[in-house]
Amino acid sequence: MQIPRNATLLRIFTGENDRCGHQPLYEAIVLKAREMHLGGATVLRGPMGFGHSSRLHTAKILRLSEDLPLVIEIVDSEEKIDAFLPVLDRMMSSGLVTLEKVQVLQYGTERTAPSAEPA
């Protein structure tokens, strides 16, 4: 699978407690992105954050939160991301979704052979 050099980054801000049916929302999003053959998805867990309600979610020892912030990032062509957005909209009831143009410098582990080393 290839991702074009000029691609789109889809970033989804949500919480650990958010659900899609009986499944954690972040898990449902990643599995759907895989099913739709998007280039890849990464879930990042934040130690602290707040959203539209201004309620603070933190992992501090004295105030353990079970609803820490999550960010899901997906990079692929603009067309594939655009096709995923209506599916994502049906999965989410709250959260923040952003898009930005990105340049892909490397995807995967295959590299061209290095140039000859000076002797």
pLDDT tens, residue by residue, 96-117: 999 999 999 999 876 545 555 5
- Please give the biggest Cα pair distance in the chain: 63
What angle do helix axes 78-91 and 25-35 make, rounded to 10 degrees?
A: 140
Got the DSSP string for 46-76? -SEE--TT---EE--TTS--SS-EEEEEEEE
Report d(CA 115, CA 104) in Å as an integer. Answer: 22
Nearest to 12 by CA among 35, 1, 23, 28: 28
Q: How many helices (H) and strands (E) does the chain have?
A: 2, 8
Euclidean distance between CA atoms 99 and 10, whole angstroms: 5
Report the pLDDT value the prediction gives residue 110, as an integer from 0 to 100.
65
Residues in the chain: 119
| Per-residue model confidence as pLDDT tens digits over 33-74 | 999 999 999 999 988 887 777 777 776 655 555 688 999 999
Taking the model in full, what pTM does it have?
0.82
